[in-house]
Chains A and B, each alone.
Chain A
Amino acid sequence: MSSHVELTEAGFDPAARLATFSASLGDEGAVVSFTGRARGKAKDGNAVGALVLETYRGVTLASMQAIAGDAHERFVITHSHVVHRAGRILPGEAIVFVATASPHRRAAFEAADYLMDRLKTEAVFWKREEHPDGASWIEPTAQDQADTVRWLQSEG
């Protein structure tokens, strides 16, 4: 079993990460990956110049590691790989990449879904959108919160 959790200010290539992750596996029958990308438009339709993700010392990475640890406890996955950008991210760039591997597909799908839901609401980031008129802080949406709560309501 292995879990790789990484916080980086540099851009990364999700396809290369998936290739490396897949090459590290043994006989797992299922690999699921998800890439989150910065959007060029805010919810109100206005253009976003960049997304800025602030972090705090070792606490942000520790929060990501705790979420990954919970995923390994909860689901039958053998390997996971989590990469998250920090700093200034331009539209179209990858913000987050999650990959999971399991003997069977259901656990791999669910673990990736779980990782993303919790990263989107609980990981220690403060996020703001920069636009031509200034910047605005972004908080998790009601849907993001509901997505995370459903894992508290369901077992296993």
Chain B
Amino acid sequence: MAVVTSRIELCGRLADACGPFVDLALPVEGLPVPELISVLGEHFPALQDGLSKGRIRACINETIVPDEAIVLPGDIVALFPPVSGG
């Protein structure tokens, strides 16, 4: 299976465990958001605690997307823990 390394930005408290960016190999056909989160937790066990607290939302190319969205290699991807508001 062809994979492409993609950079994922981790926002808020998600950055506590591994810093604000992690690199992850994504299949060229992409991954749905819940699978991306699951794979990320497998590759970075220190992130699992943060990823399991509250609803984690994905932001692709500066748009917050529903869980059905597919994250493709080359997308600008960030994961948002629940926002704190201003």
Contacts and interface: CB of A to CB of B under 8 A. Distances in A.
A37 to B, nearest CB: 12
A144 B85 CA distance: 9
Interface of A is mostly: mixed
Contacts, number: 57
A57 B82 CA distance: 17
Interface residues of A, number: 26
A137 interface: yes
Interface string B62-86: 1110000000000010101111111
Nearest to B83: A124
Interface in B7-21: 9, 11-13
B51 interface: no
A126 B84 CA distance: 5
B59 interface: yes
Interface string A111-134: 000000001111111111000000
A59 B80 CA distance: 11
A138 interface: yes
B86 to A, nearest CB: 5
A71 interface: no
Given A59-B59, A59-B64, A126-B81, A54 B86 contact: no
